[in-house]
Chain A
Amino acid sequence: MPGKLKVKIVAGRHLPVMDRASDLTDAFVEVKFGNTTFKTDVYLKSLNPQWNSEWFKFEVDDEDLQDEPLQITVLDHDTYSANDAIGKVYIDIDPLLYSEAATVISGWFPIYDTIHGIRGEINVVVKVDLFNDLNRFRQSSCGVKFFCTTSIPKCYRAVVIHGFVEELVVNEDPEYQWIDRIRTPRASNEARQRLISLMSGELQRKIGLKVLEMRGNAVVGYLQCFDLEGESGLVVRAIGTACTLDKLSSPATFLPACNSPSKEMKESPLVHPPSHGCRSTHNSPIHTATGSRLTQSFSVSVPTLIYTGMGSGSAGKEGGPFKALLRQQTQSALEQRGGSPHRFCRRREFPFLTLTAFPPGLLVHVGGVVSARSVKLLDRIHNPDEPETRDAWWAEIRQEIKSHAKALGCHAVVGYSESTSICEEVCILSASGTAAVLSPRFLQEGTVDGSLEQRVEENLPVGCGFCHIPYDELNMPFPAHLTHCYNCRKQKVPDVLFTTIDLPTDAVVIGKGCLIQARLCRLKKKAQAEANATAISNLLPFMEYEVHTQLMNKLKLKGMNALFGLRIQITVGENMLMGLASATGVYLAALPMPGGIQIAGKTPSDGSYEQHISHMQKKINDTIAKNKELYEINPPEVSEEIIGSPIPEPRQRSRLLRSQSESSDEVTELDLSHGKKDAFVLEIDDTDAMEDVHSLLTDVPPPSGFYSCNTEIMPGINNWTSEIQMFTSVRVVRLSSLNLTNQALNKNFNGLCENLLKSLYFKLRSMTPCCLCHVNFTVSLPEDELIQVTVTAVAITFDKNQALQTTKAHAEKSLQRASTDNEELLQFPLELCSDSVPSHAFPAAKEHPESASSNSGTPAAQRATSVDYSSFADRCSSWIELIKLKAQTIRRGSIKTTVTVEKASPMGDGNFRNRSAPPCAGSTVGVVKMTPLSFIPGAKITKYLGIINMFFIRETTSLREEGGVSGFLHTFIAEVFAMVRAHVAALGGNAVVSYIMKQCVFMENPSKNQAQCLINVSGDAVVFVRESDLEVMSTQQPAVNCQPTCTGEVTT
């Protein structure tokens, strides 16, 4: 009996009138946890009942504490007929299960009904007593902290980053059970909400177990998603990064941490990469779209996916790690053969981090974006014999990612994420990340001694190290133009860099960044089952390729050379596929200046045509020039003064190098010789190509005073003021079925996105100057001819006057940052698990024998084609072959709750909750801020209270009366925000950071006057203190000064 849950129902207010006769309500409350239910007395005839109940006590296993939500139902008592439900509140008590977080949940919660929405509020107090004497975790993993934030949370430091954790749980969807035919929509919705709540609890517990096994104490970058597979079930899956975190402000843990040296490290971390690295298969040939010149409508002189390189890794050293990798590979292969892999090994399989920002020094080099997609058919038949199908699917994809990373000379993938798109029985699984080389310091246990520290520093020139290519220059995985780094001039860099991570804080950027989107639609014939899957698979590579081309073109048009936070979403619908890629373009000082875009006509004989071309060329050149001015990109002459680079000399040298690279272009660019050698050539040979060029030019820059990006912070702006506005905007458009051509579709889709952005700028105009950060677009195709676009972002104001002076401040700051970084390194030298070295294995590619055919086939094909662009068609046909193969081997999915019987090793490291901890008083909060970012400008996060993960269903049978679809969804989203805020406030918090709306599934049936919507949101509940207030506090208690760097970038 490891825990006692105590609940007290205090009062209600604003209850709806349930008795028409008296205009009042006789309300009482049922409190349910697991199978135990308590009831309050009926409070007669009041809309503001005061129950003031006793403490209801539930004695439960901690496993149940993690899995089960507390369920509070408010009812109207009726003497003669059945009691009417007013609504419910689900409270996730997980935040009460670990110390440091909330100690009590107390506050007003909106009473929610899936049919009527919010109906009044109820005041509830919840406490948990965990029994300290029980020192075994068994099936529970109480004490593991979860963070949605994809960086090390602000008031913690990473002692060890253990690596990737994943889990998924499968169940039948109550909506599709036979019983749904006879029960009310309300009952069905509630069953679903409850089930998902249970499943996420279970999932979190299981992930927690894995973390404990890895000896971690936290999951960072926790991302949980639902796949509503319809008939075939409901999948809840999660990924995250297991870490050992230390609270910064607690000196008790601080000291021992410094001194605990595990000096087992035999090999220099530089020679011995962290050995997170593997490779695998390719289902749908996404990565192939990488380096290629092509015969399509235009030719491209630069690979669409670019990978970047290694700083410290000179060719000589390259041999070392490689051998090590091979050794590990065989090792793990052995392990694989030895029967079903133990979980401990399996998790080491994937050297993935879901983080997008890293502790200083962790990220050594970035290779480029790696992604993999796979088309699967969901099985209609419930097949309990194959519970692991979904697991296997994902494992396959991850293997593929791993192999791509390896091809880029990287052992790790960072900024990793997974997603699905489901339409009927077809499901596209996608995964993407950024191949990277990581410093082993955080990944392995062992103290880094002083000399090593210095070497790392030496090898990581400030601000450009991560750009250096990690692969061998002479043996590049794809053709790319390499030049010497414009910053340090020592190492090679590619000419363009794409990544899925945030811009590293120390990166030297010229000018400001901007949001860049590639948008694409492709029609597809309606088909069934295998034929459908095949059709989709066939389309995918083309889409992927075009998306990348668009991104590249737009990047060039902006005069920039790198993309951060790249997220490509491919959505499948009945009769079309949509691709939407968003990223933040920046000009990295380390990378060469991007060339212009050159337009070439195919039929130069025609004079007017020629004229048209030159007109277009002029337009493009003008746009580039305008953009450079707009984003203040003026490299490198001015830039070096701005950035405050110490030596003036490199400027000249770099220019010299530039010209060298230009001449070297002649070698690589054999196909076309138009004007400037480094120009990007668009060949216009048909109307399609013309359209593409036009669409390039239709993107309107944001109005003055606005900037936008999809990363955490906007490069070039660092004087945020404290006003923030998080918002969600949803649009659904109906396409007229008459003009359904790819062209028209593209145009419509482009217009939709552009208009949406314009609307946002207009709505937020009172906040200027401001920046839309973390702009997150999601596309779904709910029905034929319907496109739904959902955007969530935060607008943050900044001080324009300060901006003018920032150049100086920035330089100072970066200096300052560098020094504090060093300090931090010295202060926290304690890293990571040496035992991980052998287990970070490279399992053989044939780990999954059933997919071996495709595994072995694709990568080879890719590499071949990426060199020879002329074989694009061949490559495609080979894909088609492959996909046909695939279609035959498409495995049928099944649904069953995966049972993982893990006997966790006993871990008594005092993660028990301090019973005497006082409830965090004083934080009486009116306003709760919400932001998709991990920080709050002008404020410092002092406490993480736990994860918020909520799932709601709303349904209506009176759509018109509720203001139509817009009114219905507007209300629902406002209600969701309200419920999130209420939960945060009840935990004692005043903000949600890393907030994300993971799902917004909207279905309507206007003819029946019905609509239904499912929303899933998550984030981290936190307590923040305004920096101005903090200064007052810190003068009083100097102990707070522990980490001045945390929110340093936002001084008010």
Chain B
Amino acid sequence: MTSELDIFVGNTTLIDEDVYRLWLDGYSVNDAVALRVRSGILEQTGATAGVLQSDTMDHYRTFHMLERLLHAPPKLLHQLIFQIPPSRQALLIERYYTFDEAFVREVLGKKLSKGTKKDLDDISTKTGITLKSCRRQFDNFKRVFKVVEEMRGSLVDNIQQHFLLSDRLARDYAAIVFFANNRFETGKKKLQYLSFGDFAFCAELMIQNWTLGAVGEAPTDPDSQMDDMDVDLDKEFLQDLKELKVLVADKDLLDLHKSLVCTALRGKLSVFSEMETNFKNLSRGLVNVAAKLTHNKDVRDLFVDLVEKFVEPCRSDHWPLSDVRLFLNQYSVSVHSLDGFRHQTLWDRYMGTLRGCLLRLYHD
């Protein structure tokens, strides 16, 4: 006796969260059944393996049918075929768009193209995430990217509106889109210690301050950026950053800057002497990063540069984080006291964001 057909359709669509998780993780029906058996569900419920198999198949089929709608979440809300309570709809969407840290670190900043898609095999092997799940996550990134890429207004808002994601997840996607668009390098070995959260934090700061959407607006007010682009860095701003070069090119200015910082921090840093000896190198590094951002390639290497030019030197001297914070604050503020320097606003726009990023990037 073989089962030809076996279905269960509820007026309210049944969603089993555990099975949904297994499905999202890309397990085949048989693997999912095996995993469920291992979870001890048979003992708890007194069910048989056959029952579990049939149940899993059913859920998988439902999820498969729902997947088309999940690609455009507003459709899930308006469709009539599946009656699903709103809280469950939200759960379905949120979980579908949730991604694995390990996976996102692999593709963050990469071009979301067919080429990258071909590498998913390797990523799967490397991360232990099933290929199916990798594909879903990659396709999610790509889909969100495609939809919001050319859209005006706040990136986070756009994502939330078109994909009905939670605020947290929408912010993460904004970071992914931002990174993919600017192709920031995140895969280098020396960047491996950084988490997705670190990058997402930086992305958010950069979106708020360095994009077209940030021009002329209070950086913390996302609502007022309706007519602007959040995805691209402000080209004009990047161009202007060249002006900062004077801070290191002009020796007097550099010395003055150093003395201002050292005076202010004397006795306050545990690594004062190291700071003093390294000041010029550090300042040169930070300013040169700014000056190079006109070239796309250097934009991509932004994080590599920051780590190489700032994080690593400090780390090798064992700066505590509090000292880094004190230093960066003083380093930024002291520029205001440099009479010969005319680009205070530019400096603040650059350094404000960079300070935030560096503090976040500075850890083991």
Chain A residues in contact with chain B, CB under 8 A?
Answer: 13-14, 108, 110, 118, 121, 703, 725-736, 748, 751-752, 755, 758-763, 765, 786, 788, 927-930, 963, 965-967, 969-971, 973-975, 977-978, 981-982, 1002, 1004
Contact = CB atoms under 8 A, between A and B. Distances in A.
Contacts of A731: 3, 5-7
A733 B8 contact: no
A618 B10 CA distance: 41
11 contacts: A727-B9, A728-B9, A730-B5, A734-B2, A752-B1, A758-B51, A761-B47, A762-B51, A966-B61, A971-B65, A978-B81
Contacts of A978: 80-83
Contacts of A927: 83, 85
Contact of B1 (A748, A966, A975): A748
Contacts of A751: 1
B14 interface: yes
Contact of B5 (A765, A975, A1002): A1002
A573 to B, nearest CB: 15
Given A730-B7, A966-B5, A969-B7, A975 B81 contact: yes
B57 interface: yes
Contacts of B58: 763, 970
A963 B64 CA distance: 9
Nearest to A790: B7
Q: Which of B9, B61, B64, B81 has the most CB of A within 10 A?
A: B9
B61 A726 contact: no
Given A725-B11, A759-B55, A974-B81, A703 B3 contact: no
Q: Which of B3, B5, B51, B54 has the most CB of A within 10 A?
A: B5
A970 B7 CA distance: 6
Contacts, number: 125
B78 interface: yes
Nearest to B50: A755
Contacts of B10: 725-727
Contact of A13 (B7, B11, B78, B83): B78
B82 to A, nearest CB: 7
Nearest to B6: A731
Interface string B33-65: 000000000000111101110110110011011
A948 to B, nearest CB: 14
Interface string B192-223: 00000000000000000000000000000000
Contacts of B80: 108, 110, 118, 121, 978, 981-982
A16 to B, nearest CB: 12
A977 B8 contact: no
B339 interface: no
A238 to B, nearest CB: 25
B4 interface: yes
B174 to A, nearest CB: 27
Q: Which of B13, B51, B52, B58 has the most CB of A within 10 A?
A: B51
B266 interface: no
Nearest to B75: A14
A930 B5 contact: no
Nearest to B42: A762
B12 interface: yes
Nearest to A975: B81
B4 A970 contact: no
B266 to A, nearest CB: 66
Contacts of B14: 725, 763
Interface residues of B, number: 37
Given A725-B12, A729-B9, A731-B6, A967 B78 contact: no
B79 interface: yes
Given A730-B6, A733-B2, A755-B51, 13 more contacts: A725-B10, A725-B11, A732-B4, A732-B6, A762-B47, A763-B58, A765-B45, A927-B83, A970-B9, A970-B62, A974-B9, A977-B83, A978-B81
A811 to B, nearest CB: 34
Interface string B81-108: 1110100000000000000000000000
Contacts of B6: 730-732, 966
Nearest to A1011: B5
B8 A981 contact: no
A462 to B, nearest CB: 37
A729 B7 contact: yes
A64 B232 CA distance: 64
Nearest to B59: A763
Contacts of B85: 927
B5 A981 contact: no
A727 B11 CA distance: 6
B75 A733 contact: no
A784 to B, nearest CB: 13
B9 A973 contact: yes
Contacts of B52: 762
B61 A729 contact: no
A53 to B, nearest CB: 22
A973 B85 CA distance: 19
Nearest to B53: A759
B2 A977 contact: no
Contacts of A971: 65
Contacts of A788: 5
A1002 B85 CA distance: 30
A1006 to B, nearest CB: 9
A14 B50 CA distance: 38
Nearest to A758: B51
A716 to B, nearest CB: 23
Contacts of A966: 5-7, 57, 61
A923 B14 CA distance: 26
Given A110-B80, A755-B51, A736 B1 contact: yes
Given A703-B46, A726-B10, A762-B45, A965 B5 contact: yes
B9 A14 contact: no
A751 B6 CA distance: 14
A760 B85 CA distance: 21
Contacts of B81: 110, 118, 974-975, 977-978
Contacts of B5: 730-732, 788, 965-966, 969, 1002
A725 B83 CA distance: 11
Contacts of B50: 755
A930 B11 contact: yes
A963 B63 CA distance: 12
A700 to B, nearest CB: 9
Contacts of B12: 725
A85 to B, nearest CB: 20
A735 B2 CA distance: 7
Contacts of A977: 9, 11, 81, 83
Nearest to A977: B11
A977 B13 CA distance: 11
Nearest to A726: B11
Contact of A967 (B3, B51, B61, B75): B61
Contacts of A728: 8-9
A982 B11 CA distance: 12
A735 B4 contact: no
Contact of B51 (A759, A982, A1004): A759
Contacts of A14: 75, 78-79
A971 B2 CA distance: 22
Given A758-B51, A963-B64, A966-B57, A763 B8 contact: yes
Contacts of A765: 45
B73 to A, nearest CB: 14
Nearest to A728: B9
Contacts of B1: 733-736, 748, 751-752
Nearest to B13: A974
A110 B64 CA distance: 21
Contacts of B55: 759, 762-763
A748 B1 CA distance: 7
B75 A970 contact: no
A108 B77 CA distance: 14
Contacts of A755: 48, 50-51, 54
A120 to B, nearest CB: 10
A752 B2 CA distance: 10
